Structure 1
Amino acid sequence: MNQIKIKDEFITLGQFLKLADIISSGGQAKWFLQEYEVYVNEELEDRRGRKLYIGDEVDIPGEGRFEIVTGE
């Protein structure tokens, strides 16, 4: 499982996609979430504004599994 480090209390799913190098710009988040299945804590999610907290897991079939961890 890949780890994505954050410094704040949370990040949005759109920010996560960019941090994880899944998309190259924040503007692609809406399109990506319409075209691909993204699971947050094993639940299908399509909102780019979904808040992700430390300990959350994101699974994108074909791209990988990720865990949000603290960067401090």
Structure 2
Amino acid sequence: MDQIEFELDREHVELNQLLKLCGLCDSGGAGKAIVASGAVVVDGERELRKTCKIHAGQVVHVDGLEIRVVAPHG
């Protein structure tokens, strides 16, 4: 499984925007469609809320990719 470490530069990021920022889709709207399809798992639970707030420490899985959301380094 491929892994991405996403450094969060704010308190949270909406799930659909996270998918866009990680390059998994071209727009927030496309990110919403991926979430709505049931393809996204957050911390081991299927997530269908398109604008679910993702915080540092959470792990998102989609299409064989693991996205680890981390606090800023430094």
TM-score interval w.r.t. the shorter chain? 0.7 to 0.9
Query: TM-score normalised to the size of structure 2?
Result: 0.84
Query: TM-score normalised to the size of structure 1?
Result: 0.86
Aligned equivalent of 1:40:
42
Please list every run of 5 or more consecutive structure 2 residues that lacks an aligned counterpart in the other structure: none
The number of residue pairs the alignment matches comes to 71
Percent of residue pairs bearing the same amino acid type: 28
Please list every run of 5 or more consecutive structure 1 residues that lacks an aligned counterpart in the other structure: none
- Paired amino acid for 1:5: E
Give me the whole-angstrom Cα distance separating, in 1, the residues matched to 2:31 and 2:21.
12
**CA distances 1:27-65 after superposition (whole Å, capped 9, x unpaired):** 212222233511000000011110100000001133x10
- Paired amino acid for 2:62: I
